[in-house]
């Protein structure tokens, strides 16, 4: 039994998937289709990064998606996926959209258009430089939530990434005000993140509502792969449930720790991270070390599948 994991924002780097692009026709075809659907010059953004576009949310998300999906298509064409017994797919934030495309729940063009819009909505949801996010190292989600409630802090948990890494979202002034409070209550590190807004918080509600209208218009398809939702941290193959959870994802917490524990509860054993970087592999090992996990990020990594 094997599950595929797909990374989210923060995993991007200049030149990601370029070795796949240069060596596999299927990858070039994937980029052709996504660029046609979105009217974006993604290969220029990803491979050359003019004006630091790759780190702008409205380009970052669709770029990571394109790279991850392209690598997946190589795996799909070069290896026998049936022998892998793939049961579940999941992704971190935007990675959930990659999971939906790779599982054939959404066709490629529709998913690319959705993610282009998602990036634009999230980037423009709040006035620039007014809100943000910070990572807390050394505290579990329950402890962070207790501190938020007891101290009446005006921030929210955005990502429950592992048992010792939590990301909070809020207005910058409120994030700054709570730094010392968390450090005084057990956090080993407090790191402000280089992001354009407070993702996965109630500051995204308006953007979430706009995106929901477009999600409702998407034709979700049937497939045998189960999706584990960021919003519910539960597995489902019911398109109505998947759609409802996806519609609530942007303004709510990414329940990554619970999602990985859900995989464990479902007796999953083998995990494959597909896409730029190895961030998810590191998080998984901190959550539960019972999994066998590999990361496919470069062509050389394909040998790990053999």
**For residue 135, what are the contacts with CB-CB under 8 A and spacing of at least 6?**
165, 166, 167, 189, 190, 191, 193
Round to whole Å and give the CA distance between 108 and 125. 25
Separation in Å, CA 234 to CA 5, 60, 68, 184, 231: 15, 27, 23, 34, 8
Give the strand order in the sheet containing 226-228.
Answer: 235-236, 226-228, 86-91, 2-6, 270-274, 292-296
CB 91 within 8 A of CB 67: no
CB 108 within 8 A of CB 242: no
Q: Point out the catalytic residue in the list 200, 232, 235, 259.
A: 200
CB 67 within 8 A of CB 17: yes
Closest CA to 8 of 84, 104, 118: 118
Q: Point out the catalytic residue in the list 66, 93, 141, 259.
A: 93
* Number of CB atoms found within 10 A of residue 108's CB: 18
Is 66 a catalytic site residue? no
Is 3 a catalytic site residue? no
**Which residues are part of the catalytic machinery?**
93, 200
């Amino acid at each position: 039994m094997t599950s595929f994991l797909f990374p989210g924002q923060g995993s991007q780097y200049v030149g990601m998937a370029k070795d796949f692009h240069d060596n596999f026709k299927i990858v070039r075809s994937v980029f052709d289709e996504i660029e046609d659907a979105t009217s974006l010059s993604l290969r220029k953004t990803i491979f050359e990064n003019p004006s630091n576009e790759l780190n702008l949310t409205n380009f970052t998300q669709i770029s990571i998606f394109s790279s991850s999906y392209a690598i997946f298509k190589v795996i799909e064409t070069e290896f026998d996926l049936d022998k892998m017994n793939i049961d579940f797919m999941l992704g971190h934030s935007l990675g959930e959209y990659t999971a939906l495309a790779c599982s054939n729940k959404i066709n490629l063009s529709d998913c690319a258009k959705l993610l282009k819009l998602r990036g634009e909505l999230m980037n423009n949801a709040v006035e620039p430089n007014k809100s943000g996010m910070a990572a807390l190292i050394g505290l579990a989600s329950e402890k962070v939530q207790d501190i938020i409630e007891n101290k009446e802090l005006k921030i929210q948990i955005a990502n429950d990434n592992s048992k010792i890494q939590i990301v909070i979202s809020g207005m910058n002034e409120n994030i700054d005000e709570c730094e010392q409070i968390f450090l005084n209550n057990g956090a080993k590190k407090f790191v402000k993140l280089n992001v354009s807004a407070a993702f996965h918080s109630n500051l995204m509600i308006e953007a979430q509502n706009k995106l929901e209208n477009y999600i409702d218009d998407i034709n979700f398809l049937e497939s045998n792969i189960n999706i584990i939702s960021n919003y519910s941290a539960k597995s489902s193959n019911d398109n109505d449930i998947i759609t409802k959870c996806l519609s609530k994802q942007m303004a709510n917490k990414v329940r990554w720790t619970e999602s990985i524990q859900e995989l464990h509860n479902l007796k999953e054993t083998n995990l494959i991270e597909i896409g730029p970087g190895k961030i998810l592999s590191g998080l998984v090992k901190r959550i539960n070390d019972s999994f066998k996990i590999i990361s496919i990020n470069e062509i050389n990594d394909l040998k790990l599948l053999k």
